[in-house]
């Protein structure tokens, strides 16, 4: 026997391992989306317009992070409805949505245009510049959420082909003949488990 013959075959991932990676993807998606959606509703920048205080939320600065987080959530649900190349495409979509949310959050971290616009609105002027401008840490929370979504997308691309999907498990199989007469409660449950209708004549 040669050394090559003695090399063990690569271990096949177990169903438990597949469930763990699927669960991790779902956890990262939900956590990332919650972080982004929470952050965009909070104040990202504040300042003064004359004697008035002005502030703007992340959603006022850019609607993209929140929108992309919702796209990633929808993609996580779609994972269960597709297989093969479709599932890989969903993973790429989640990855891109996460990176886009992170990038737009970083770009909005130092944005003052929306704050200037709010200052002009408060002063009823066509244009104004906010003073004493300050920025909060919420853009970086949104950025972290976007990165978690991107990791969830990578997991889908890498391991998604091994995850279970909606399919034959949820579809009644084609009946090849009349169901056997149920003889008791145990037989009824077994028939239901096979996808058969034990009440059908």
Q: Tens of pLDDT along 43-82?
A: 999 888 878 888 889 999 999 999 999 999 999 888 888 8
Q: Are residues 141 and 193 located together in one domain of the fold?
A: no
Query: For position 18, what pLDDT does the model report?
Result: 77
Q: Where residue 92 sits, what CATH number does that domain have? A: 1.20.140
pTM over 0.95: no
Is residue 11 in a domain?
A: no
Q: How many CA atoms lie within 13 A of 135 on its CB side?
A: 17
CA 109 to the chain's CA centroid: 22
Q: What is the dihedral of CA 172, 176, 180, 185, to 10 degrees?
A: -10
**Co-location of 136 and 187 in the same domain:** no
Q: Identify the pLDDT of residue 39.
A: 96
Q: Are 65 and 125 within one domain?
A: yes
Q: Do 83 and 91 meet the contact criterion of CB atoms below 8 Å apart?
A: no
Q: Which residue has the higher pLDDT, 43 or 161?
A: 43
Residue 131 lies in a domain: yes
pLDDT, tens digit, 9 for 90 and up, residues 128-160: 777 788 889 999 999 999 999 999 999 999 988
Nearest to 35 by CA among 103, 105, 82: 105
Least confident of 77-86, 92-101, 178-187, 190-199: 178-187
What is the rounded CA–CA span in Å between residue 34 and residue 50?
Answer: 35
Q: How far apart are CA 73 and CA 152, in angstroms?
A: 10
Q: Which of 10-24, 28-42, 52-66, 187-201 has the lowest mean pLDDT?
A: 187-201
End-to-end CA distance of the chain: 61
Q: How many domains does the chain have?
A: 2
| Residue 2 domain flag | no
Residue 67 lies in a domain: yes
Residue 46's beta-bridge partner residues?
55, 134
Residues 186 and 144 in one domain: no
Write down how long the chain is. Answer: 201
Same domain, 53 and 98: yes
Domain span at 185? 176-201
Asked if 123 and 36 count as a contact pair (C-beta separation under 8 A), the reply is: no
173 pLDDT tier (thresholds 50, 70, 90): very low
Percent of the chain residues topping a pLDDT of 70: 75
């Amino acid at each position: 026997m040669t050394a090559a013959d003695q090399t063990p075959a690569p271990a096949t991932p177990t169903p438990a391992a597949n469930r763990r990676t699927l669960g991790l993807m779902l956890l990262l998606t939900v956590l990332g989306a919650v972080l982004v959606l929470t952050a965009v509703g909070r104040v990202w920048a504040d300042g003064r317009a004359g004697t008035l205080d002005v502030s703007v939320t992340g959603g006022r600065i850019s609607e993209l992070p929140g929108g992309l987080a919702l796209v990633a959530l929808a993609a996580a649900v779609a994972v269960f409805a597709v297989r093969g190349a479709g599932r890989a495409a969903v993973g790429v979509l989640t990855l891109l949505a996460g990176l886009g949310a992170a990038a737009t959050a970083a770009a909005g971290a130092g944005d003052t245009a929306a704050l200037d616009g709010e200052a002009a609105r408060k002063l009823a002027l066509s244009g104004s510049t906010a003073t004493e401008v300050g920025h909060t840490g919420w853009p970086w929370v949104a950025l972290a959420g976007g990165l978690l979504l991107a990791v969830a997308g990578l997991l889908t691309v890498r391991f998604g082909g091994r995850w279970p999907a909606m399919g034959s498990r949820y579809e009644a199989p084609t009946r090849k003949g009349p169901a056997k007469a149920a003889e008791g409660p145990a037989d009824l449950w077994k028939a239901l488990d096979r996808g058969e209708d034990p009440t059908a004549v």
